[in-house]
Structure 1
Amino acid sequence: MNGVTPGRTPGTGPVTGSGAAEEQLRDVFDALVTSVHGTPDRYPAALADWRRRERRRRIVLPILAAVIFALANILGLWALSRADVNTHIIFNDRPGNSTEAPTNGIGPPP
């Protein structure tokens, strides 16, 4: 406050105790800060990279969903086309094989 560096008293060396450790840390961090040089044009490049990845994600996700949907449809149509035409899905019995008559109108038509 009066121009004296914290941790030092006027006309003497560093203060012993916790003040000395704080002063050493301050010196180390000051040296580290002066040695780090950031490039001023890095932020726009990083922003452009982030926007490119975001745009790619927004394009790839719907395309991937459409491909999965199309493959599921193709697989389903392929499985249906390979099914036997004579196989009944709803009723497993063939006409005329049933020994019991339907009761109260419940069952396959005659």
Structure 2
Amino acid sequence: MNNTSPARTERELREALQALADGVQAAPDAYRTARGEWLRRERRRRLVLAVLIAIVFAAATLIGLWVLNQAPSAPGVIFSGTDSPLSQASLFQQHP
């Protein structure tokens, strides 16, 4: 029989890893510590996301107000006053 067979290598590796795993002891408060770190990261992620949303919203609002402020103050084609032919036609005129 071959001394380097895959079955023998796998068995020895499994035994070595099992012996290593048996020597590992978890800290008593490992779960609580890991959960606390995870919750802190989650809170920080949500805070960063909320700040980014607020910045984008404020920027969009400011850009919209700036664009509206750039509109000409003179009346345009749609709001051209009472002299235009369109303003003389009314949707509420009574037809005989």
**TM-score, normalised with respect to structure 1:** 0.53
Percent identity between the two aligned chains? 40
Structure 1 residues 81 and 22: CA distance shift in structure 2, 3 A:
closer
Could you tell me how far apart the structure 2 residues matched to 1:83 and 1:42 are?
62
Amino acid at match of 1:27: E
Q: Which residue of 1 aligns with 2:73?
A: 85
Q: Residues 64-106 of structure 1, C-alpha deviation per residue, up to 9 Å, x if partnerless?
A: 2222112111111112212221151636x8997x8xxx5xxxx
Q: 1:24 aligns with which of 7, 12, 21?
A: 12
For 1:53 and 1:18, how far apart are their aligned partners in 2?
44
Q: Note the residue ranges of structure 1 that are not aligned, 5 or more in a row.
A: 1-15
Cα RMSD (Å): 3.3
User: Which residue of the partner structure matches residue 33 of structure 1?
Assistant: 21
1:74 partnered with 2:59: no
Q: Which residue of 1 aligns with 2:36?
A: 48
Q: Deviations over 1:21-42 (max 9, x none)?
A: 4542342123322343433322
Q: TM-score, normalised by structure 2?
A: 0.58
Aligned amino acid, residue 30 of structure 1: Q
User: Counterparts of 1:61 and 1:54 in 2: how far apart (Å)?
Assistant: 11
- For 1:49 and 1:89, the matched residues in 2 are separated by 62
Considering Cα pairs closer than 8 Å and 6+ residues apart, tell me whether 1 or 2 has the greater RCO.
1
- In the superposition, relative to structure 1, how do residues 70 and 28 fare at CA in structure 2: closer, same or farther (>3 Å)? same
Unaligned runs of 5+ in 2: 90-96
